[in-house]
Amino acid sequence: LRFKAPQEGQTVIDDLIKGRVVFENNLLDDLIILRSNGYPTYNFSVVVDDALMGITHVVRGDDHLTNTPRQIPIFHALGYAVPRFGHLSMIMGSDKARLSKRHGATSILAYKEMGYLPEAMINYLVRLGWSFGDQEIFSVPELIEKFTFDQVQKSAAVFNPDKLLWVNAHYIRQGEPKRVAELLQPFLVQAGLGDEARAMPAGWMERLVIALRERSQTLVEMAQAAVPYLQQDMPIEDEAAEKFLTPAIAPTLGHLSERLAALPEFTKPGQEAAFKEVMETAGLKMGQLAQPVRVALTGRAASPGIFEVIDLLGRERTLARLRRGIERAKAARP
């Protein structure tokens, strides 16, 4: 079954984004609307679907622009109100070719699995082809308030993974720690640390997020950075140990361990006083002491501030890992 297309005149689309678009009716063919197997075709089905759902605005990629002059006569023939149409230019890769799998992930779910926050994806995708001055970061209420079609660019937008990563890092840093901790949970489960995370006392996960968020661009990175604080038997990286856990530092680490163990209350002021006393005795600066301690406590040469690390580990694990670090330093080659 075919729909008899008009043969005279023009079909004019007042496109919300591209402006006035004109199609000559004599170039349209008689569109098949029902196949021989009884199934309706896309262009017929979508008209009925939109009409029955009361759709007033159809916003889609401009690869559908040529479908519009086929659909509008069907709206008229069935007595349906014609919605407003807006056709967005396609998203391009860095090579200006249409975005595809060869440019990386193209599925929203794939980005979720890569540790991107929903609000970061919304922010970035709306800004991709739309602007409001120089503002880059928008909350959803702001987008609802400020978005207008006349600010959507007609030309194709280029997908920039680095910019998306920057936006995501912003939302991780600025997000409510409790919510980020909840979003982080599935990634900790994937890392085999779900039980350890659930066993932590109330508020601990929020403190972990606050400690790690400045160095984490995705939730995957944050989960990887969380390993030293959740994994019980945390190995020490050989390269970090060779550089910082030397026999010469072992006595100083031993002195620090004694001072920390002697604290009646394991609080930051007491910890800072212990570090200061040990540094003065050994003639070291903070970095010279903190770095070996960091390697002993986390197994890595990079971490949040040393007192944040101690706060997350607590007294028992801090002292146990210091003792392990001291033994590693004593056993190292001079």
Residue 153 lies in a domain: yes
pLDDT tens digit sequence for 49-63: 999 999 999 999 999
Examine the domain organization and report whether 188 and 255 are in the same domain.
no
Full 3-state SS string of 94-109: CCCCECCHHHCCCCHH
Examine the domain organization and report whether 200 and 167 are in the same domain.
no
- Write down the catalytic residue from 101, 112, 163, 243: 101
Helix (H, G, I), strand (E, B) or coil at 13: strand
Examine the domain organization and report whether 180 and 160 are in the same domain.
no
What is the pLDDT confidence band of residue 94, given thresholds at 50, 70 and 90? confident
Residue 316 lies in a domain: yes
Examine the domain organization and report whether 214 and 155 are in the same domain.
no
Q: Tell me which residue range forms the domain holding 106.
A: 101-171
Residue 96 lies in a domain: no
What is the pLDDT confidence band of residue 105, given thresholds at 50, 70 and 90? low
Distances (CA, A) of 20 to 14, 43, 132, 151, 152: 5, 21, 24, 16, 15
Examine the domain organization and report whether 179 and 166 are in the same domain.
no
Distances (CA, A) of 97 to 100, 159, 169, 236: 8, 10, 27, 45
Tell me which of 43, 65, 88 is where a domain ends. 88
Across 125-129, 209-213, 215-219, 275-279, least confident range: 125-129
Active site residue 163: no
- Domains of the chain: total: 4
Examine the domain organization and report whether 162 and 196 are in the same domain.
no
* Contact criterion met (CB below 8 Å) for 50 and 17: no
The CB density around residue 39, as the number of other CB atoms within 10 Å, is 8
Tell me which of 63, 88, 113 is where a domain ends. 88
The residue among 160 and 100 whose pLDDT is bigger is: 160
Residue 83's CATH number: 3.40.50.620
Residue 46: which of 67, 16, 24 has the closest Cα?
A: 67
Residue 259's CATH number: 1.10.10.350
Examine the domain organization and report whether 326 and 244 are in the same domain.
yes
pLDDT score, position 99: 76
Tell me which of 67, 88, 109 is where a domain ends. 88
Examine the domain organization and report whether 71 and 116 are in the same domain.
no
Instruction: Return d(Cα 315, Cα 237) in angstroms, integer.
Output: 22
